[in-house]
């Protein structure tokens, strides 16, 4: 045995002792988790972790290793937190097969043919553009005034699917649609991301200096905020839809009125493009969801959407989110919405990667459901973002 082998043998012995001590530490970590749950204490205690690092630095003989030791303990305590969270989150016996996820999975339907689709707004709306891109130009369709009207059309079986905006890359989620999804209990069966390019439209012959009133959807106004700051004399009027704003300007035939809408809306309503591409983010996209009454899953489905709430106690949300990491679930989006009758409590809308035909994923989601106060699977569909 040469000198290197001697050194490695000694390292192996040290590693063996480290492993024994690691196992012993984790058993104590679990005891701490049980105490914290019993006494309603949070898993993360920053002052305690800082004290552990500070104290152990004093034991070092060679101060050159201080930074490395700090990193070691930070990682060790992160592992400890994950184990604590998993222990708290999944400690009770549970029959996953009784989960709503399994019940719903057993009632998956095939995608429909010879369909009719509903969108919110008027012809020329970005919702109609998303519909055309997803279903095709010749798809029979109808349009309604409000987001909830789309859900009502689907509920009454007047249409087979609905299409609605759910999120914008510049301004975030569309809260009303999130709330309606939970209220009506329908499923997301697909999605489409549409590039949104806003333009200032007026009647033929109008110029920028003529404009006094600007109409558009609140998010379009927000996404064009930098451009709108260029004149303090403009009065801004939130309206139901960008295309409806264009229609309003056309029908009013007033030179001082303008709308923020798409080029297609300008063509449809024979309006002048006074200023083009006025949104501050040139990579501005809106994600639209396709909703149906039934869950539809195929081999290409790779995004799962759920809505859940957790107990209103310290560490509950941390435990839930940590569960995603523990089960290698790649979270893509999380958005909170207040629970109306419970102050400072929230529903969490979460998107993550996966296909429910995977048994391990179904088990993981069933465990997540078990530890939630409220849980609903919103859909499993092919991602387009």
Statement to judge: residues 311 and 241 lie in one domain = no
> E strands within 73-160?
117-120, 141-144
Statement to judge: residues 322 and 385 lie in one domain = yes
State how far the Cα of 71 lies from the Cα of 67, in Å rounded to an integer: 6
Number of H helices, E strands in the chain: 13, 15
Statement to judge: residues 72 and 27 lie in one domain = yes
Q: Which of 286, 347, 352, 375 is flagged as catalytic?
A: 286
Q: Which of 89, 119, 151, 288 is flagged as catalytic?
A: 288
**CATH code of the domain in which 234 resides:** 3.40.190.10
Is residue 164 in a domain? Answer: no
pTM of the model: 0.74
What pLDDT, on a 0 to 100 scale, did the predictor assign at position 246?
A: 97
Is 286 among the catalytic positions?
yes
Statement to judge: residues 239 and 305 lie in one domain = no
Quote the tokens at residue 141.
């369709």
User: Tens digit of pLDDT for each residue in 119-149?
Assistant: 999 999 999 999 999 999 999 999 999 999 9
What pLDDT, on a 0 to 100 scale, did the predictor assign at position 92?
A: 46
**Which residues face 348 on adjacent strands?**
308, 336
Is 288 among the catalytic positions?
yes
**CATH code of the domain in which 14 resides:** 1.20.59.10
**Which residues face 335 on adjacent strands?**
349
- Report the domain count for the chain: 3
Statement to judge: residues 228 and 254 lie in one domain = yes
State how far the Cα of 1 lies from the Cα of 379, in Å rounded to an integer: 61
Tell me: pLDDT of 96 over 60.
no
Of 154, 155, 107, 116, the closest CA to residue 135 belongs to: 116
Statement to judge: residues 245 and 268 lie in one domain = yes
User: Tens digit of pLDDT for each residue in 240-295?
Assistant: 889 999 999 999 999 999 999 999 999 999 999 999 999 998 888 999 999 999 99
Beta carbons of 207 and 298 less than 8 angstroms apart: no
**Structural domain range at position 304:** 94-108+298-385
DSSP string, 8-22: HHHHHHHHHHHHHHH
Quote the tokens at residue 145.
């005034």
Is residue 120 in a domain? Answer: no
DSSP string, 351-381: EEE--TTSHHHHHHHHHHHHT-SEEEEEEEE
Tell me: pLDDT of 98 over 80.
no
Is residue 38 in a domain? Answer: yes
Query: What sections of 39-112 are H helices per DSSP?
Result: 46-57, 66-89, 100-105
Domain stops at, among 243, 275, 307 = 275
State how far the Cα of 199 lies from the Cα of 266, in Å rounded to an integer: 9
Quote the tokens at residue 25.
């530490």
Statement to judge: residues 260 and 340 lie in one domain = no
């Amino acid at each position: 045995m040469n000198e290197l082998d001697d050194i490695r043998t000694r390292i192996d012995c040290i590693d063996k002792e480290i492993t024994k001590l690691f196992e012993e530490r984790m058993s104590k970590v679990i005891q701490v988790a049980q105490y914290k749950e019993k006494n309603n204490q949070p898993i993360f205690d920053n002052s305690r972790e800082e004290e552990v690092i500070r104290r152990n630095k004093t034991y070092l003989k060679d101060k050159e290793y201080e930074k490395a030791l700090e990193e070691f303990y930070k990682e060790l305590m992160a592992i400890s937190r994950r184990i604590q969270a998993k222990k708290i989150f999944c400690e009770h016996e549970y029959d996953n097969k009784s989960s709503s996820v399994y019940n719903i999975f057993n009632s998956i339907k095939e995608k429909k043919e010879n369909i009719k689709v509903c969108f919110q707004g008027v012809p020329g709306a970005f919702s109609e553009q998303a519909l055309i891109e997803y279903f095709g130009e010749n798809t029979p369709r109808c349009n309604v005034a409000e987001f909830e009207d789309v859900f009502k059309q689907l509920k009454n079986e007047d249409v087979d699917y609905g299409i609605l905006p759910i999120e914008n890359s510049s301004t975030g989620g569309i809260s009303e649609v999130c709330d309606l999804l939970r209220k009506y209990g329908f499923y997301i069966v697909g999605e489409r991301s549409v590039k949104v390019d806003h333009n200032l439209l007026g009647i033929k012959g109008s110029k920028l200096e003529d404009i006094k009133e600007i109409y558009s959807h609140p998010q379009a106004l927000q996404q064009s905020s930098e451009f709108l700051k260029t004149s303090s004399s403009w009065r801004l009027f939130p309206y139901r839809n960008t295309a409806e704003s264009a229609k309003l300007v056309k029908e009013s035939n007033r030179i001082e009125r303008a709308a923020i809408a798409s080029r297609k809306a300008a063509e449809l309503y024979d309006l002048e493009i006074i200023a083009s591409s006025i949104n501050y983010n040139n990579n501005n996209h809106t994600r639209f969801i396709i909703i149906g009454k039934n869950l539809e899953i195929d081999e290409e489905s790779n995004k799962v959407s759920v809505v859940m709430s957790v107990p209103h106690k310290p560490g509950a949300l941390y435990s839930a989110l940590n569960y995603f990491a523990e089960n290698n679930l790649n979270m893509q989006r999380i958005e909170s919405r207040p629970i109306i009758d419970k102050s400072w409590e929230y529903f969490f809308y979460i998107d993550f990667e996966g296909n429910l035909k995977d048994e391990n994923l179904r088990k993981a989601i069933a465990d997540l459901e078990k530890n939630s106060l409220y849980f609903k699977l919103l859909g499993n569909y092919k991602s387009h973002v």
